[in-house]
């Protein structure tokens, strides 16, 4: 391999963040795995990985983590912006705080981490930023407006940043996983408020959406990929000599994103209607319940 790099990864308490930290460490890189709760990183620390507390909604903890790496190595060579979660709730039903929280983690935290590492990367004349987006950054199904909007934002920010950072020797690449078999699915289901409330016009829809995500979406037979597959792509994005602008993970992700580009909106909406539950007017829902 090439010389070891200093790698700072957010959101390593589980899933792709944890497995990517371990994989990059085993390749000989100097990995700094971070999470809001340092105790969640005990298994990584036992492997010899340096672990740090880092909350992407807290300025002081973000700055402290970047400073820690820069004091040891001069700059962060590779930043993997992985921390994120999925809010799934109807647009009408979402509270302002829920929407702010979604963007604080998935967008503003990613932006601030990027801003903090860029000066050191510019001084070093090199660096790489890997933004974990999603196939969600290319389409929006019912119930997923704000999570998907946050990933659309990551895509747009990454496109601008790739052009802005290149003259300084800094590379920017995006990873677009489809459904991945990690804890993400259960976290998403927990945001849906799946208890069907007869007074809630979206109650049945929420329950059906939660059931779909819990029973079908994050299953290998339905196109979800193992965490190990996603990890290999993230490692490639972080270490390739000439990284691509984007890496899609999984046949389902590539197929859906291609369909979104190729089909007119009316046809793509028809695909969404066939594959996702939709709210039903109260009279229709009542008749279906009888």
61: annotated active-site residue:
no
Catalytic residue among 20, 32, 151, 158: 151
Catalytic residue among 147, 202, 213, 247: 147
Distance CA 16, CA 21 (A): 8
186: annotated active-site residue:
no
Catalytic residue among 6, 13, 20, 150: 13
Residue 142 per-residue DSSP state: T
Distance CA 228, CA 132 (A): 15
- 143: phi then psi, degrees, rounded to nearest 5: 90, -10
266: annotated active-site residue:
no
DSSP E strands, the chain: 6-9, 30-35, 50-53, 78-81, 127-132, 170-177, 180-181, 225-226, 246-249
Give CA 159 to chain center in angstroms.
16
260: annotated active-site residue:
no
Catalytic residue among 6, 75, 133, 150: 133
Three-state secondary-structure class, residue 171: strand
List, by residue number, the catalytic residues.
Answer: 13, 133, 147, 151
């Amino acid at each position: 391999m090439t010389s070891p790099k200093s790698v700072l990864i957010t959101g390593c308490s589980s899933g792709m963040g944890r497995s990517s930290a371990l994989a990059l460490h085993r390749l000989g890189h100097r990995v700094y795995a971070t999470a809001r709760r340092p105790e969640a990183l005990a298994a990584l620390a036992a492997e010899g990985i340096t672990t740090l507390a880092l909350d992407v909604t807290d300025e002081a903890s973000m700055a402290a983590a970047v400073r820690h790496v820069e004091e040891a190595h001069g700059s962060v060579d590779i930043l993997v912006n992985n921390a994120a979660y999925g809010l799934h709730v109807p647009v009408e039903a979402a509270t302002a705080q829920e929407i702010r929280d979604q963007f604080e983690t998935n967008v503003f935290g990613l932006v601030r981490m990027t801003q903090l590492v860029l000066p050191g990367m510019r001084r070093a004349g090199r660096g790489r930023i890997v933004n974990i987006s999603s196939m969600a950054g290319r389409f929006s199904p019912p119930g997923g407006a704000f999570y998907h909007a946050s990933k659309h934002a990551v895509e747009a920010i990454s496109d601008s940043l790739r052009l802005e950072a290149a003259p300084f020797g800094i590379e920017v690449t995006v990873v677009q996983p489809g459904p991945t078999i990690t804890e993400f699915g259960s976290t998403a289901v927990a945001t849906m408020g799946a208890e069907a409330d007869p007074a809630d016009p979206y109650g049945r829809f929420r329950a059906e959406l939660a059931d779909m995500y819990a029973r079908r979406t994050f299953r290998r037979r339905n196109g979800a990929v193992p965490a190990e597959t996603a990890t290999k792509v993230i490692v490639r994005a972080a270490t390739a000599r000439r990284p691509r602008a984007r890496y899609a993970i999984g046949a389902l992700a590539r197929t859906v994103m291609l369909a979104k580009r190729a089909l007119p909106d009316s046809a793509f909406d028809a695909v969404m209607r066939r594959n996702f539950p939709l709210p039903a007017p109260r009279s229709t829902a009542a008749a279906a319940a009888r």
